[in-house]
């Protein structure tokens, strides 16, 4: 017994003598919905990965909440008159985490890696680049194969991120060396990624935390519980069902912004046997489906009325939205008339949804609404990897699927509806749409581009290869004492200016 | 003893081969293309083709299998498709986490289950016995997921006594580690405590009825000595076997608890790997789990012999 008592008291003493754990005042703890994939900007693919890169890697350009381009590593930029040359001036005071200086050579090495590495995922983003020149240490010149209005937007994200040249031959995915405001310290897969302040960063004065810990907590309830318990300072993607309870908590702030993407139904119009049914073959049936859905009720039923109904591939407030296509009111009579016109009294169609409760609910609400107009929707739920594969192989009739969105309008349309688009799983094909969207890529001014998107939308809104449903607004929750969070429709967490009161 | 161990290891090898083959085949039979997921949102066909080539996906399946097995035998489990991290390192890291959770849970399970079982047996058919049985039934029937969330909401969010989730290694920061392990260990170990309590109770009852206990009592020994020195030792034999098997069970069964408390262990690793079709990780984890189970069974047998000397000759 005596031994036990001695041991116990020794243990207690040891515990008391330990340093206070992890929670020094200058650590920012961020809750992520998933664990990021590779930490190599040229190979990474996940949305959450981009959030981590915001702290780790600087890029050539950035965007403001209004989607305007602003300088980062590139201080100024211009296109030549023929639109075939992009010249960028670079910062001269930027450094990589290994101490090397950032210059045009380094930028060139990165861009070359991004567009030539066999398994680079940035290739298509930089496909218009023909060659890269470095006339001097602070200038980089990109020669283009064709004018490319989407290029600058690509350089605001992973394609424009800069890794230390010496690290390029090493294991980038697990030990990234960049030039961002924070350096990589460690990663515990499925748990956390730790970054530490890079004191030599050119903008170091704007970053007030010494350490950043990103923790992946997939369960939304548990993620919120962690925030409320003071274990996190900020979290991304608060579930709509949790918004009310978070708002009621005085120690927490909730912020939201329309996200750049969309959620909708992709319809198989032309991809194998799956297209050979009334929904795939006759646009009137698709119009009837769209008219039978009350987007507002859908949003009220599943998302507590927090998401916004849409019918175009752009987020509310986007400069490329067309006034010509307002969100239609539900019209059962007209939907029935359209079916009748198509010579049908009843249509039966299958809808793929991802096997999570929210998607299943969306599917069920659509099913109930479509039923009333004579469209019998059978909801089939599978997990995401299978859904993607079947969709690509044309083994589907309709698929409920979303898109996280891009800053540039091209990223929300071109690959989904042009004949050769990588993600055109329904194999929709319309020469006029192809032409309008291809041309829109080559025009640098907004008004001129918009005319081409409007022209494309005229066909798309009539033929409906994709029926857009809602914009899944992004909700962030943060501790009330966290100041300086600038919310941006790209859904990223920018660390600049963040501080604890 | 060494012969026993050697024999068992030899028997284990073909089992492991079959497990490996089975997992490999099953994994390939799953619907869904991992490269479609891995190629990212843009899904560039050129990139997908390149990835398939890098991972030899276009070879016949048995060629892929033996190529993989050949690497595994040399200790190379490949890299995670998703994160590019070596699989073996990942498994070691996660195993360390889950073993700490399992040990903590086992401490809870034995710490509650064993004394409760002994008390229940000694005071058979009294209020103490009924209470212990009722609590045990509760422990067995409450779902881990629900109990976990309730604990987080009450203990962390409302009372702010313990951190809500996460993990810290006991070797790095013991205080933070223990704080974070209490709730999950209670959730995971609680159900097992009930199990151990029931088995301890019946084993003790049986031993207390036996002849040598009657002899010991007849010698005039006091009840505590009879129970602790004579009865318990023999009652422990089946309980130790049970506990080692349960420990193996714990390693595999920590999945839900790890999910609720976001503990980056083995369970979370495999769930994520399956959802992402991360072939190398799933194969590695299943193979290691099989090895773990075989080792646990072996350990159970060895302990069995050690505790019960009568079995030593056999």
pLDDT digits (tens, 9 = 90+) for B274-297: 877 788 888 888 888 888 778 877
Q: What is the CATH number of the domain that holds B222?
A: 1.10.3720.10
Query: B107-155, pLDDT tens digit by residue?
Result: 999 898 888 888 888 888 888 888 888 888 887 788 887 888 888 888 8
- Residue A71 β-bridge partners: A61
Beta strands in A189-328, from DSSP E residues, in sequence order: 192-197, 211-216, 234-235, 252-257, 262-267, 308-309
Query: Which residues does chain A have with pLDDT short of 50?
Result: 1-23
Query: A375-404, pLDDT tens digit by residue?
Result: 999 999 988 878 888 998 899 999 999 998
Please give the Cα distance from B3 to B312 (Å, whole number): 12
pLDDT at residue B313, as a whole number? 52
Nearest to B173 among A18, A36, A120 (CB): A18
Q: Domain span at residue B193?
A: 88-266
Residues of chain A contacting residue B43, judged by C-beta atoms under 8 Å apart: 392, 422-423
Residue of B nearest to A173 (CA): B84
Chain A contact for B40, CB < 8 A? Answer: yes
End-to-end CA distance of chain A: 50
B202 occurs within a structural domain: yes
Q: In whole angstroms, how large is the CA radius of gyration of chain A?
A: 25
Query: B249-275, pLDDT tens digit by residue?
Result: 776 667 888 888 888 888 888 888 887
Please give the Cα distance from A383 to A393 (Å, whole number): 16
* Pairwise CB contact (< 8 Å): A385 & B31: yes
Nearest to B83 among A189, A230, A392 (CB): A189
Confidence band, pLDDT 50/70/90 cuts, at residue B310 = low
Residues of chain B contacting residue A217, judged by C-beta atoms under 8 Å apart: 165, 262
CB B304 within 8 A of CB B241: yes
Residues of chain A contacting residue B34, judged by C-beta atoms under 8 Å apart: 385
pLDDT at residue A470, as a whole number? 96
Chain A contact for B144, CB < 8 A? Answer: no
* Pairwise CB contact (< 8 Å): A21 & B259: no
**Measured between alpha carbons, how far is residue B38 from residues A85, A111, A142, A368, A391 in Å?**
33, 21, 29, 35, 16
Q: In whole angstroms, how large is the CA radius of gyration of chain B?
A: 24
What is the separation of C-alpha A81 from the centre of its chain, rounded to a whole number of angstroms?
Answer: 32
Neighbouring C-alpha atoms within 13 Å toward the C-beta of B134: 7
Query: B25-78, pLDDT tens digit by residue?
Result: 887 777 767 777 777 666 777 778 887 887 777 888 888 888 888 888 888 888
Task: Provide the number of structural domains found in chain B.
Answer: 1
Q: Name which CATH class applies to A262-471.
A: alpha beta
pLDDT at residue A2, as a whole number? 46
Mutate to test the interface with B, among A31, A191, A213, A224 (most CBs of B within 10 A): A191
Residues of chain A contacting residue B90, judged by C-beta atoms under 8 Å apart: 189
High-pLDDT (> 70) share of chain B, %: 95
Q: What are the residue boundaries of the structural domains of chain A, listed by start?
A: 58-166, 182-259+478-500, 262-471
Instruction: Tell me what the mean pLDDT of segment B89-96 comes to.
Output: 87
User: Residue B224: pLDDT above 90?
Assistant: no
pLDDT at residue B252, as a whole number? 63
Per-residue three-class SS string for A242-263: HHHHHHHCCCEEEEEECCCCEE
Q: For Cα atoms A353, A356, A362, give the angle at the middle one, nearest 5 degrees.
A: 55
Contacts with A, B 47-86, CB within 8 Å: 47, 50-51, 54, 80, 82-85
In a 10 Å sphere around its CB, with 0-12 CB exposed, 13-18 middle and 19+ buried, how is residue A449 labelled?
buried
Q: DSSP letters along A92-114, please?
A: SS-B-TTSPBP-HHHHHHHHHHH
Query: A474-501, pLDDT tens digit by residue?
Result: 999 999 999 999 999 999 999 999 999 8
Give the closest-approach CA distance of B211 to chain A in angstroms: 32
pLDDT at residue B309, as a whole number? 65
End-to-end CA distance of chain B: 10
pLDDT at residue B14, as a whole number? 87
Instruction: Tell me what the mean pLDDT of segment B160-168 comes to.
Output: 84
Identify which of A210, A201, A173 has the alpha carbon closest to the alpha carbon of residue A29: A210
> Does the domain spanning A182-259+478-500 belong to CATH 3.30.365.10?
no
Architecture of domain A58-166: Alpha-Beta Complex (3.90)
pLDDT at residue B253, as a whole number? 66
At what angle are helices B144-151 and B174-208 packed, to 10 degrees? 130
């Amino acid at each position: 017994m005596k031994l036990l008592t001695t041991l116990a008291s020794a243990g207690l003493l040891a515990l008391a003598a330990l340093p206070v754990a992890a929670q020094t005042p200058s650590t920012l703890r961020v809750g992520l919905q998933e664990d990021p994939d590779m930490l190599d900007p040229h190979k990474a693919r996940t949305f959450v990965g981009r959030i981590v890169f915001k702290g780790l890697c600087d890029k050539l350009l950035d965007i403001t909440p209004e989607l305007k381009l602003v300088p980062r590593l590139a201080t100024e930029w211009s296109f030549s008159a023929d639109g075939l040359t992009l010249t960028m001036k670079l910062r001269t005071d930027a450094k990589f985490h290994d101490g090397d200086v950032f210059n045009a050579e380094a930028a060139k090495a990165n861009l070359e890696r991004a567009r030539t590495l066999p398994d680079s995922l940035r290739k298509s983003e930089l496909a218009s680049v023909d060659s890269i020149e470095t006339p001097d240490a602070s200038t980089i010149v990109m020669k283009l194969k064709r004018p490319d209005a989407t290029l600058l937007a690509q350089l605001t994200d992973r394609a424009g991120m800069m890794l230390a040249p010496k690290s390029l031959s090493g294991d980038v995915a697990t030990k990234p060396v960049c030039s961002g405001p924070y350096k990589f310290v460690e990663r515990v897969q499925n748990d956390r990624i730790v970054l530490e302040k890079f004191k030599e960063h050119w903008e170091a004065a704007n970053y007030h935390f010494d350490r950043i810990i990103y923790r992946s907590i997939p369960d939304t309830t548990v993620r919120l519980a962690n925030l409320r318990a003071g274990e996190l300072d900020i979290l991304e993607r608060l579930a709509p069902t949790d918004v009310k309870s978070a708002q009621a908590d005085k120690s927490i702030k909730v912020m939201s912004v329309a996200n750049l993407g969309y959620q909708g139904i992709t319809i198989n119009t032309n991809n194998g046997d799956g297209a050979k049914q009334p929904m795939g073959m006759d646009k009137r049936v698709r119009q009837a489906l769209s008219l039978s859905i009350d987007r507002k009720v859908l949003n009220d039923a599943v998302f507590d009325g927090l998401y916004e109904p849409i019918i175009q591939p752009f987020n509310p407030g986007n400069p490329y939205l067309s006034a010509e296509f307002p969100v239609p009111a539900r019209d059962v009579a007209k939907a029935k008339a359209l079916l009748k016109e198509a010579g049908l009294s009843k249509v039966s169609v299958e809808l793929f949804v991802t096997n999570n409760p929210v998607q299943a609910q969306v599917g069920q609400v659509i099913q109930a609404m479509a039923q009333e107009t004579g469209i019998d929707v059978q909801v089939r739920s599978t997990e995401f990897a299978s859904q993607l594969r079947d969709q690509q192989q044309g083994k589907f009739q309709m698929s409920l699927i979303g898109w996280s969105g891009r800053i540039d309008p091209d990223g929300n349309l071109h690959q989904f509806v042009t004949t050769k688009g990588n993600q055109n799983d329904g194999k929709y094909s319309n020469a006029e749409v192809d032409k309008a969207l291809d041309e829109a890529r080559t025009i640098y001014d907004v008004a001129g581009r918009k005319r081409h998107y409007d022209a494309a939308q005229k066909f798309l809104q009539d033929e409906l290869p994709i029926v857009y449903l809602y914009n899944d607004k992004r909700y962030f929750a943060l501790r009330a004492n966290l100041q300086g969070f600038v919310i941006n429709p790209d859904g990223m967490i920018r660390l600049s200016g963040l501080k604890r009161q | 003893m060494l012969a026993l161990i050697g024999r068992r290891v030899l028997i284990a090898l073909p089992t492991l081969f079959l497990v490996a083959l089975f997992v490999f085949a099953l994994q390939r039979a799953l619907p869904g293309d991992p490269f479609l997921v891995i190629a990212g949102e843009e899904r560039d066909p050129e990139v997908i083709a390149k990835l398939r080539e890098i991972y030899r996906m276009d070879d016949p399946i048995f060629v892929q299998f033996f190529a993989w097995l050949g690497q595994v035998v040399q200790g190379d489990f490949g890299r995670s498709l998703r994160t590019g991290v070596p699989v073996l390192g990942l498994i070691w890291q996660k195993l360390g986490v889950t073993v700490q959770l399992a040990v903590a849970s086992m401490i809870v399970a034995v710490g509650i289950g064993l004394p409760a079982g002994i008390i229940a047996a000694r005071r058979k058919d009294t209020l103490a016995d009924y209470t212990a049985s009722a609590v045990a039934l509760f422990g067995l029937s409450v779902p881990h997921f629900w109990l976990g969330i309730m604990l987080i909401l009450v203990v962390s969010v409302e009372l702010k006594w313990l951190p809500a989730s996460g993990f810290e290694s006991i070797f790095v920061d013991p205080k933070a580690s223990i704080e974070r392990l209490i709730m999950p260990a209670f959730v995971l170990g609680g159900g097992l405590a009930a199990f151990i309590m029931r088995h301890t109770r019946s084993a003790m009852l049986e031993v207390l009825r036996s002849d040598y206990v009657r002899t010991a009592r007849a010698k005039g020994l006091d009840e505590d000595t009879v129970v602790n020195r004579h009865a318990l030792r023999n009652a422990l034999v089946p309980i130790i076997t049970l506990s080692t098997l349960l420990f193996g069970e714990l390693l595999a069964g920590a999945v839900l608890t790890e999910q609720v408390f976001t503990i980056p262990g083995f369970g979370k690793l495999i769930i994520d790997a399956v959802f992402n079709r991360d072939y190398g990780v799933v194969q590695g984890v299943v193979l290691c789990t099989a090895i773990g189970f075989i080792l646990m069974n072996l350990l159970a047998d060895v302990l069995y012999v050690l505790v019960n000397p009568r079995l030593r000759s056999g």
